[in-house]
Structure formats: C-alpha cells, structure tokens
Structure 1
Amino acid sequence: MSAKYAIIRGAFELLALSQVPALVRARSQSRGLILTLHRVLPEKPARFSPNAILQVTPDFLDFTIKRVRELGFDIVTMDEAISRLGAEERQRPFVVFTFDDAYRDNLQYALPIMRANSAPFTLYVATAFIDGVGEVWWQAIEDIIAGRDAVAVPGRNGTDYLPSASLAEKWRAYDELYARMRKMPEHERVALIRDLGEAYGLDIEAHCRNLIMNWDELQTFVAEPLCTIGAHTVHHYELSKLPEAEARMEMADSVTILEQRTGARPRHFSFPIGGKPSAGAREYGLARELGFASAVTTLPGGLYSRDKEQLWSLPRVSLNGLFQSKRYVDVFATGGLFSLLGRVEE
C-alpha cells in the first residue's frame, strides 16, 4: 500500500472509531451521495494488484447496501436523485449506486446482489468496450508487468527498461508506466498499449472481451427494471485530452450507439476516469449541450441543493477496494466528509 493510501486508511480508522460521521450526517446539508463502483469479485487480489482499488467483494457490496439503509438512506435512481436535489423541501437522504465500464463480473456477482436487495443502480457503458475492440489499458499494464521480470517501454528518446522482478519493482514499474500513459495524448497511449501487448503476447482486444460484457450479456441489464443504462463515451478516452469536436463525438456517438443497440436513449453520463485532469468546464458544458440529464465525475463529495444548478459535474464517493472494512461504510456514507476532502484537493 502506498504512503497516500496508508494515510487515508489511518484517517478512516480514526473516523470509524469516532462519532464524527454520525455528527456530520446529522448536521450537514448534504442531501445524499453517489457511490462509484467498478468490479465485484469474490477472490482476494494478488499481492501485486494495483487495480484492486477498483474491486470489492460481493459480501462488502451486500453489506454496504444494507448498512446505508440502516443509516436512513433511500437507495434511488439517478432520475430520483435529480428530483430530490431540485425539491424545495429537503427529503430523506439518498444514495445512488453506480458501476462504471460494464465489467463482466457485474453480471455474475453484482447483479444478483442488487436484485436480492431490490436496489436500483446505474451502469455506465463505454461502447467500444462492449464491442470488444477497446483497451482496458490500466488492467493490461498490470497483467503485462505481473508476468515479467522487466518491461521494455518504447519512448521518443529510445527504449526504457523497467525492472519488475521483485514485488517492489513491479509496483514501481506500474506507477511509472501508468503515470506516463495518463500524461500521453490518447491516441499515443492507444498505440503504446497495443505495442506492449504485441511485444509481450497480450492480445489487447481479447483482453477487453474477457473483462467486459458483450452486447448479449448487456441485454440482461437493459431488461432489468432496477438498472439505468448510462453513457461512458465510445473509447473511454480522457475527454480533456481531445480536441473539442472529437470529445463531443465521443459523447454523442456513445448515445447513438446505445440507443440503436438497446432501444433507449441514455439520459445520464459518466466522464471516463473523471478527475480534474480528465474533465473540466468544457466537458461539463458539452454534457449539458448534448442533453444529458446528469453527468458524474470522480471528484469526491456529497450532493447538496446547489447541485441542481450543476448537474453535469456531480461528485461521487468511490467504494475503494482497499478499504473494505464494514466499519468504514459509515464513513463512506458521510457525503459531507468527502465534500471537505474535495475542497482540500482544490
């Protein structure tokens, strides 16, 4: 665990053992929160699993649903959340469960839990992923590094050799390569991950098809009354890196494709990766112009009445896979704490 996450865990421990979350919920003007999830898997992650932050166990998801209800929250759809934000009088607090990317394990493990708990949720879909032609690049670089003692990474000034024999070296190699890819223009990043896949025997498109649902599997969610299908672009690019016309096309085309394949036009959108480097005022404006009823980020925070005026940059609270202690759920459910965190990060 990195120093950053060790500090966060320490803060979670202190908060979980105190009355602070309960006091903040009682006094905060937060009307609710949106929870971010990605993968739901029963297996314990391997020792080298940088993307374990994106996965929770079925048991933890089930407990979280039950616990937020015990705390007095309603679990609602995105449409109902927007309605409650716009209401003049404050209503019962609410939680929206959202899943990004349409991982296949959502079908096997998450959906039965949502059904068993009659819990509505939103699934944000990147259409190239469902087509099986995208790049789940953050997982691909983990999988490449995991099986290698060193990785040769081509660059503008020659080839860099990243040692990855030991566990510590693997983590350093991943952090360096991930950071490098986040800084690259998207089309350069696509070329690099495909080059690495070819060099190390990882078929990038087969890798995508293995991780992500196909259209037939997605149909189960389309037909599910509890599920709202949302758009997540075509290629899962960080929109801020793209020219405006291309960013708009990524968003608009995903809506068109989803409408053609599912029969319903998605009203809600999720910005890929979703932090400040990935989406900003231009992208929020595009979401509004394209007619989305809402767009969610990964910026931390609860939801307040004022958010009815900024529905295209809504914050979320990530159910981070490194913090799957039941006593932490009360902290996750306290939107006001994450709003304070968001202001600290500004």
Structure 2
Amino acid sequence: MSLKYAAIRAGFEALWLTGMPRLFRMLSRSRGVIFTLHRVLPEPPADFSPNAILQVQPDFLDYCLGRIRDLGIDIVSLDEAMARLAAPEKGRPFVVLTFDDAYRDNLHHALPILRRHEAPFTLYVPTAFVDGTGQLWWQAIEDVIAGQEAIAFAGDGGAEHMDTSTTARKREAFERLYWRMRKQPEPERLALLADFAAAHGYDLERQCRELIMDWRELRLFADEPLCTIGAHTVHHYELAKLAADAAREEMLRSAEIIEVQLGMRPRHFSYPLGGPLSCGPREFALAAELGFDTAVTTRPGGLYPHHLRIPTALPRVSLNGNFQRRRYVDVFASGGLFTQIGRVMGS
C-alpha cells in the first residue's frame, strides 16, 4: 500500500478510536451520504492491483448494509434522498448506494446481496461499454503491466521504457502512465492506449466484453424493482476535456441509447471519474439543461438541503477497496465527517 493510503488508514483508525464518526452523525447537519461503488469481487486483490480501490468483496458489502441499518441509517433511492433533503425536518439519516460502469460482477456478486437486504441502488451505465466497444483503459494498463517485466510507451521525447520487474516498479510505471493519460486530451489518450495495448498484445474489446454486462444482462437490472438505471456518458470520457458540444452529445446520447435499449429514459447521471479535473460548473449546467434530476461527482461529502440548489453537483463517498475493515463502515457513513475531509482536500 502506498504512503498516501497508509496515511489515510491511520486517519481512519484514529477517527474510529476517538468516536468521531458517531459525534459527526449526531451533531452535523448532513442528512445523508451517497456511496460510490464499482466492482464486487470475491477474490482478494493481487499484490499489484492499483485499481483495487474500485473493488470490494461480497462479505464486506453484506456487512456494510447490515451495519448501516444497525446504526439507524436508512438505505434509500436517489429520488427518496432528494425528497428527504427537501423536508423541513432532518429526520432519519440515510445512505444511497450507487454503482458505476455496469461491471458484470455486479450481477453475480452484488445483486444477490442487495436483494437479500432489500436495498435500493442506482446503476450508472456507459453505453459503449455495454455495446462491447468501450475502453476500460485504467484496468488495461494495470493488466499489461502486471504481466510484463518491462514496458514501453510513447513519451514526449520518443519511446519511454520502464522496468516493471518488481511490484514497486510496476506501481511506479502505472502511476507514470496513468497520469500521462489523465493529462492528455481524449484523442491523444485513445491513440496512446491503442498503441500501448497493441504493442503488448492486449485485446481491448475482449476485455470490455468480459468485464461489462451486455444489454441482455442489463435488462435484468432494468426489471429489478430495487434498481434505478442512470446514465454515465457513451464512452466514459472525462467531460471537462471535451468541447461543450461534444460533452453535451456524450451526455445526451447516453440517455437516448438507454431509452431505446431499456424502454426508460434515465433521470440521473454520473460524471466519469467525477473529480475537479473531470467535471465542473459547465458540466453541472449541461446536466441540468438536459433534464437530469440529479448528477453525482466523486467529490467527498455528505448531503445537505443546500444541494437542492444544484442537484447536478452532488458529492459521494467512495467505499474504497483499500479500506475493507468492518470498523471503517462507521467512518464511511459519516457525511459530515467527509464534508470536512472534502474541504481539507480542496483547500
């Protein structure tokens, strides 16, 4: 685990030991929390798994849902959450469950747990992924680096070569390539990814078909009373990198495709990656213009009545796969606490 995550874990331990999560739940004006989840997998991650932050194990998810209710917190849909924010009295605290990207493991490992707990949730769908033509680039570069002793990719001054013979060097290479792609315009990132995958014999379309549900599987979620289907763009591009017309098209087309495929138009939206580099006031306004009732970011924080003023910029708290200790659930469920964390991160 990196020094960053070691420091965060130490902070979680201190918060739990001092009883701060309970205090924040009692004293904060936060009404609730939206949780971000991605993958639910039974196998523990390998030593080199930089994307392990995106996955939790079924037993942990099962414990989370039970513990949340033991704390006196309701699990509600997004629509119910917004209605509670509008209520004049604070009422019972709540949690909203959201899953991004339509991973197939959500069907096999998450859905049975959600049904057993009768827990409503939202599933945000990037439509090109479900078509089998999307590019899960963050997972692709992990997979390639995991299987190589050395890698090469296009750098500013020509080919860049990196030793990946040890776990530490693999992590270094992943960070280098990940942030190079994050900082590039989307066309340049797509070209770099295509060249990198081809050079190392990695089939991007096969990866997408293996990891993501197809439309037939997704209809099982659309027919599930507990599930709300949301939009998540077509190609999972970082919208802030696109021209306004292109960003608008990504958002609009994703809703239109879901309506054609599933017979319902999504009213809720999730911004890909969702942080300050990926979306901002322009995207929040576009989501409102396109008629989405809500749109979620990945900025940490709890939900307050003031979020009704801009419901297309809602914060979320990530159920981070690097912190799957049961006592941390009390920390995750403290909206006011994460609001303070978000303020520190943004300062």
**TM range, normalised to the smaller chain?**
over 0.9
Q: How does 1:164-313 map to 2 (within 5 A)?
A: 164-313=164-313
Deviation string, structure 1 residues 190-213 (Cα, Å, up to 9, x no partner): 111111111111110111111111
Q: Give the corresponding residue for 1:72.
A: 72
- What is the rounded CA distance, in whole Å, between the counterparts of 2:115 and 2:18 in structure 1? 33
CA distance in 1 between counterparts of 2:263 and 2:294 reads 20
In structure 2, distance between residues paired with 1:116 and 1:192: 43
Instruction: Please give the alpha-carbon distance, in whole angstroms, between the structure 2 residues aligned to 1:335 and 1:127.
Output: 31
Structure 2 equivalent of residue 63 of structure 1: 63
Work out the number of aligned pairs and report it: 346
| SS, match of residue 229 in structure 1 | strand
Q: Which one is further off, 87-96 or 178-187?
A: 87-96
1:162 deviates by 1.4
Amino acid at match of 2:257: I
**Shift in Å, 1:54:** 0.4
Q: Deviations over 1:304-329 (max 9, x none)?
A: 11111110100000000000000000
3-state SS of paired residue (1:313): coil
What residue ranges of structure 1 are gaps of 5+ in the alignment? Answer: none
TM-score (ref. length: structure 2): 0.99
Cα distance between partner residues in 1 of 2:321 and 2:57 = 8
How far apart in 1 are the matches of 2:174 and 2:15?
31
**Cross-structure match for 1:104:** 104
Residue 239 of structure 2 aligns with an amino acid whose one-letter code is L
Counterpart for residue 7 of structure 1:
7
Cα distance in 1 between the residues matched to 2:194 and 2:75: 40
**1:145 corresponds to:** 145
Moved over 3 A (4+): none
Instruction: Identify the residue that residue 160 of structure 2 maps to in structure 1.
Output: 160
Q: Partner residue of 2:84?
A: 84
Distance 1:45 1:126 in 2: 25
1:35-46 equivalent positions in 2, closer than 5 A: 35-46=35-46
CA distance in 2 between counterparts of 1:190 and 1:225 reads 37
Deviation, structure 1 residue 163: 1.1
Shift of 1:156: 3.9
Task: Give me the identity figure in percent.
Answer: 61
Matched residue SS, 1:80: helix
Q: CA deviation at 1:36?
A: 0.3
Equivalent residue number for residue 123 of structure 2: 123
Name 1:49's counterpart in structure 2: 49
1:18 — aligned with what?
18
Specify the alignment match of 1:136 in structure 2.
Answer: 136
Matches within 5 A, 1:21-32: 21-32=21-32
Whole-angstrom distance in 2 between the partners of 1:285 and 1:37: 25
Q: How far does the alpha carbon of each residue in 1:103-133 deviate from its partner, in whole angstroms, 9 at most, with x for none? A: 0000000000000100000000000000010
Equivalent residue number for residue 113 of structure 1? 113
Which residue identity is paired with 1:112? P
Deviation at 1:90, TM superposition (A): 1.7
Tell me the CA shift for residue 155 of structure 1: 2.8
- Please tell me the residue identity of whatever aligns with 1:190: L
Indicate the residue corresponding to 2:33 in structure 1: 33
Distance (Å, rounded) in 1 between the aligned partners of 2:306 and 2:68: 23
Q: Distance in 2 between matches of 1:10 and 1:199?
A: 40
Deviation at residue 188 of structure 1 after TM alignment: 1.1
Which AA in structure 2 matches 1:278? S
Deviations 1:75-112, CA, capped at 9 Å, x for gaps: 11011111111112222111000000000000000000
Q: SS where residue 228 of structure 1 aligns?
A: strand
Partners of 2:234 and 2:155 in 1: CA distance = 27
Amino acid at match of 2:132: G
Cα deviation for residue 157 of structure 1 reads 2.1
Q: Distance in 1 between matches of 2:131 and 2:212?
A: 9
